[in-house]
């Protein structure tokens, strides 16, 4: 791990050790889009790796579906609450503190993997994301699927002006050699006590698809959360639609 990755990792970890932030993540339940994809791509009673599990929002429903669940997160506070919530729900979840870039599991350990909400976008830089992608591929069994979602760089919503300004700032910093904490496409770094998401990198779909293929995955599905929940296929108008984008890829 290089020094920049370590700095970003520490910044993200500090955020999710904050009890005020942890308290916002105690809600339990799958999105409809997540449930649709899990039922289609994860075998019954399979062993699933829940990456970036937070306080157990997805881990507990996965266990309630009859899956064997191993859940990881970089935050000790989040994993502690996830264990407590699993115990209260009366389900078995193996919760561990772990970095997605350095998985301490044997090859071919899991039937599926889920990286929900913005978890993948909090992994430091494209290099860190590529490392995590390769590790997930390694620990999946042949035929196992990775399901994850991201925000959209192109969505026309209330965040669009801020994304555009940030893109310009990063571009000018690189062009002029100016110091900037955000150095890569789609990065935003805000070390502000009032800001929950202090680091995020929102990449275009083409880069995510490239990362998947470089890790050895076969891409099965790309669609927006809204279209999935409405039973609609991907269409070019989806490029500008608000909401998360889902990816499903097979080893």
**Is the pLDDT confidence value at 218 over 90?**
yes
Q: In the structure, what pLDDT confidence band is assigned to residue 91 with cuts at 50, 70 and 90?
A: very high
Burial of 2 (0-12, 13-18, 19+ CB in 10 A): exposed
Domain ranges of the chain: 3-152+205-250
Helix (H, G, I), strand (E, B) or coil at 104: coil
Contact 107, 120 (CB under 8 A): no
pLDDT at residue 197, as a whole number: 86
pLDDT at residue 55, as a whole number: 97
Query: Span 38-49, mean pLDDT?
Result: 97
pLDDT at residue 72, as a whole number: 98
Q: Can you name the CATH fold of 3-152+205-250?
A: Rossmann fold (3.40.50)
Any alpha helices (H) in the chain, and if so which ranges?
3-17, 19-22, 32-41, 59-64, 76-89, 125-139, 160-176, 205-215, 225-230
pLDDT at residue 1, as a whole number: 62
């Amino acid at each position: 791990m290089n020094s920049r990755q370590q700095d970003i990792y520490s910044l993200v970890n500090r955020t999710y050790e904050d009890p005020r932030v942890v308290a916002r993540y105690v809600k339990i339940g799958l999105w409809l889009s997540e449930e649709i994809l899990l039922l289609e791509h994860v075998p019954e009673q399979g062993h699933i790796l829940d990456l970036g599990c937070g306080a157990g929002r997805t881990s507990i429903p996965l266990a309630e579906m009859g899956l064997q669940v191993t859940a990881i997160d970089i935050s000790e506070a989040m994993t502690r609450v996830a264990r407590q919530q699993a115990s209260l729900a009366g389900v078995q979840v193996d919760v561990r503190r772990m970095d997605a870039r350095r998985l301490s599991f044997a090859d071919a350990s899991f039937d599926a993997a889920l990286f929900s909400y913005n978890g993948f976008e909090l992994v430091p830089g494209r290099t860190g994301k590529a490392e995590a992608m390769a590790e997930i591929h390694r620990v999946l069994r042949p035929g196992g699927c990775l399901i994850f979602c991201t925000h959209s760089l192109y969505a026309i919503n209330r965040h669009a002006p801020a994304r555009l300004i940030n893109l310009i700032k990063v571009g000018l910093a690189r062009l002029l050699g100016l110091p900037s904490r955000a150095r890569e496409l789609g990065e935003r770094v805000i070390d502000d006590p009032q800001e929950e998401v202090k680091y995020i990198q929102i990449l275009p779909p083409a880069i995510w698809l490239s990362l998947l293929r470089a890790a050895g995955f076969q891409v099965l599905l790309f669609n927006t959360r809204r279209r999935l929940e409405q039973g609609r296929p991907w269409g070019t108008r989806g490029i500008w639609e608000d909401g998360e984008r889902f990816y499903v890829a097979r080893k």
